[in-house]
Structure 1
Amino acid sequence: MDPHTGSAPIATEIVLAGFGFRAAAIHRVAQAMPGVECAGAIVRQPRDLPVPAYRDLAACLRATSPDFLVSAVSAGAAPAIVAEAVSYGLPVLTETPPAGDRAGLEALWAAVGRSGLVQVAEQYHLMPSHAARFAAVRSGIIGTPTQVQVSSTQEHHAVALIRGLLEAGHDPAVVRAVRTVAPLLDPLDRGGWIGNPVTKPATTSIATLDFGGGRSGVYDFTTGQTRNLLRFRRLLVRGTHGELRDDEVVHMPAERTIARTPLVRRQSGHDLDVGGLDTETITLGERVLYRNPYAGLRLNDDEIALATMLDAMAAWVRGAGPEPYPLADGIQDRLVALAIDEAAETGQEITTVGLRRD
């Protein structure tokens, strides 16, 4: 029985393209999820893996019957495996970004855009804190959002948060950007703490994005900031009737009344709570903004987001749910991120131009 729904879980079979850092993380999450099976991985060089390894997709499909492929290879390699999967009629969830540059994005869209089989594994809006912030903004407590400032994650991920919170869709953006370099201590990497860390040059990119209609974004990212705990992660959403700053909202609940209301995460396992470490809910006053659908599995925030994406993809391929994150949106995130890079490199104002999708 599924502990979250009380019903027998529907079996979902996936296969992975690649088995590097990200694919291994996806595999760990799939292992923890009731009803999800990882039937194998496509890797260039045979090696010992916790799942059967296949040299190519054709061999994998002769031995397995997956509901969808999860592509977790480099941006340069992803379009080929995505196009091959689509040629077999196999739905694909491809990691971000879906291609490296504009030419790659255009070629990918031309090859598979009209297939209706490709989704992008953009997970940041599904992380508990961000999901709660989206819910708070959607509730109308700060009115209509007019500006989003993100200083926490890089490129397409930050753009996805900005576009999503502003509901900017594929509207063109006027981009201006600058870069500076300064020394920064970086005590951790993917493997954990680094012994005797030293300061290294770190680049900070700051960009403004003007989507028109009074909607704007501010992108602020320093090299390694995603994992560097010596830099705060910040998110600000300004609206017509207040603003959300990280985990607090300032708003006007009544005439001549200004209130500051925190977003409060209920995290079990502290002090005399012996139920185990887990995220349970995030609330705003009496309103529950977010409830962890995987309570009991002891997943971290990124793992919760990945599990949510896998479940959404499984529902979509069965016709039981909406598209998790359409390829067109993943491409748009990347195009805006490329414009930020171009504006910072050239010092010129860049206006984003979306792909032709007719």
Structure 2
Amino acid sequence: MGKVKYAVIGSGWRAEFYIRIAKAVPEKFDLTAVLIRDEEKGRKFSEKFGVKVVNTVDTLMKDEPEFVVLAIKRGCVTDYLLELFEKGIPVLTETPPGESQEDLQKLWSAYEKYQPKIQVAEQYFLQPLYASWHKAIADMKLIGNVENINISALHGYHGISMIRWMLGTKGQKCTMYGKRYHFSVTETYGREGMAFDGETFVCPRDRVTLEFENGQVAFFDFSDPAQYHSFIRTRQLSVQGDRGEIDDLTIRYLTPENIPVTQELNRIDLGVYGNQEWSHFAIMLGEKFLYKTPFVNARLNDDEIAVGSLLLGMSEYVKSGKEIYSLADALQDMYLCLKMEEAMADPYKPVVTEKQPWDAALKI
């Protein structure tokens, strides 16, 4: 397999991921250029990151990338996607693809009209830990039929994506009710690094129950932004099936002979407490590998590994049509996220979802 050749539209924090990945794994990725419309901003960006910067879509496509990555401000994504659809350019777009139900419907109508090549950069299910959990549930079927999930790890549409993926709900209707609380927390770190000044801030905590029509239930719990950037607010996951459960890094299950087993997930990172350069390798359960990185020896964090996996998946999609994360699934995730916001705006009042036009196209 040759290098994945792609271009990027955008200059923000998320766009930088796609630059770092290309530099960290040059044998797999070729970043052709970055599109920044403002010439002065583009010049400074090019000098800072050592990448080619252009100012128009037409110029961006002269290097013949397989696809473009759209990583711009979330409020501008929908209209930019329509432009790329019209030009017939394959696109991997950052989340969310739209911010209102009107945006979602507009985008799906355009998709049906143009039939573009598009996938969405919903990366969390490709992170090593989440991928390991899913393998234990879906492939190894260690915990039997999954009936409920309690997730306190991801916000909004990311959390919804993980719920639907773990439960396999597709477009099932559900009833939601919940409430947004507010609690104080001390800041410990952010994107710029660790913080030691002891400053506190008030952080919302969202608690929503989703009851699906097939009887499955999800308990969504997230404190944003504290759980993404904190040493004192942790990630938690519990998934229960009729033959076992996943409790964060512990998996309890029954063998075919109904013997109860308890095992811990074991993460393997090369170079920890040693003199090698750090890199992630795998996650094991007992003697079995649940996950192996596709980027052996590359110095990538979990999110970068996931985004790199999306790039590999997008390249395969452009060539074969095999989807990695479809537009329909992204629209469904955002639709349910908007309904969660509606539920929390009127605490404990049930909000019922409806079937959407993209329902038949859902993969997850």
Once structures 1 and 2 are overlaid, which stretch shifts more, 168-177 or 158-167?
168-177
> Which residues in structure 2 correspond to 1:76-225 (within 5 Å)?
76-113=75-112, 115-138=115-138, 139-224=140-225, 225=227
The residue that corresponds to 1:6 in the other structure is none
Match of 1:179, SS? strand
CA contact (8 A) 1:113 1:327 kept: no
- Deviation, structure 1 residue 354: 4.0
Provide Cα deviations, 1:126-158, integer angstroms capped at 9, x if missing partner: 000111010011111100111111101100111
Provide Cα deviations, 1:196-240, integer angstroms capped at 9, x if missing partner: 141111111100111122211111011211122210101111101
Q: How many Å separate the matches in 1 of 2:111 and 2:74?
A: 16
Matched, 1:36 2:29: yes
The residue that corresponds to 2:335 in the other structure is 335
Match of 1:108, SS? helix
Contiguous gaps of at least 5 residues in structure 1 = 1-8
CA contact (8 A) 1:113 1:328 kept: no
Task: Kindly indicate which of the two structures has a greater share of residues assigned to helix.
Answer: 2
Contiguous gaps of at least 5 residues in structure 2 = none
Query: Residues 53, 354 of structure 1: CA spacing in aligned structure 2 closer, same or farther, 3 A cutoff?
Result: farther
Q: How many Å separate the matches in 2 of 1:113 and 1:29?
A: 32
The residue that corresponds to 2:19 in the other structure is 27
> Which residues in structure 2 correspond to 1:266-281 (within 5 Å)?
266-271=268-273, 273-281=274-282
Q: How many Å separate the matches in 2 of 1:152 and 1:241?
A: 24
> Which residues in structure 2 correspond to 1:274-313 (within 5 Å)?
274-313=275-314
TM-score, L = length of structure 1: 0.92
The residue that corresponds to 2:262 in the other structure is 260
Consecutive aligned runs of 4 or more in structure 1 exceeding 6 Å deviation: none
> Which residues in structure 2 correspond to 1:317-328 (within 5 Å)?
317-319=318-320, 322-328=322-328
- Deviation, structure 1 residue 54: 2.7
- Deviation, structure 1 residue 317: 0.6
Match of 2:229, SS? coil
The residue that corresponds to 2:74 in the other structure is 75
- Deviation, structure 1 residue 195: 4.7
Once structures 1 and 2 are overlaid, which stretch shifts more, 125-134 or 252-261?
252-261
Q: How many Å separate the matches in 2 of 1:301 and 1:170?
A: 29
- Deviation, structure 1 residue 274: 4.1
Give the length in aligned residue pairs. 347
**Which of 6, 13, 16 in structure 2 is aligned with 1:14?**
6
The residue that corresponds to 1:250 in the other structure is 252
- Deviation, structure 1 residue 51: 2.3
TM-score, L = length of structure 2: 0.91
CA contact (8 A) 1:69 1:85 kept: no
Identity %: 28
Q: How many Å separate the matches in 2 of 1:354 and 1:328?
A: 12
Q: How many Å separate the matches in 2 of 1:327 and 1:227?
A: 29
Match of 1:77, SS? helix
- Deviation, structure 1 residue 116: 4.2
Provide Cα deviations, 1:286-326, integer angstroms capped at 9, x if missing partner: 2211111111112110111011110111111111x620100
Q: How many Å separate the matches in 2 of 1:226 and 1:51?
A: 29
Q: How many Å separate the matches in 2 of 1:201 and 1:284?
A: 38
Provide Cα deviations, 1:228-268, integer angstroms capped at 9, x if missing partner: 22101011111011100111111112546322111111122
The residue that corresponds to 1:4 in the other structure is none
Q: How many Å separate the matches in 1 of 2:105 and 2:198?
A: 41
Q: How many Å separate the matches in 1 of 2:56 and 2:210?
A: 41
- What's the RMSD between the two structures over aligned residues? 1.7
Query: Residues 116, 238 of structure 1: CA spacing in aligned structure 2 closer, same or farther, 3 A cutoff?
Result: farther
Query: Residues 147, 247 of structure 1: CA spacing in aligned structure 2 closer, same or farther, 3 A cutoff?
Result: same
The residue that corresponds to 1:350 in the other structure is 351
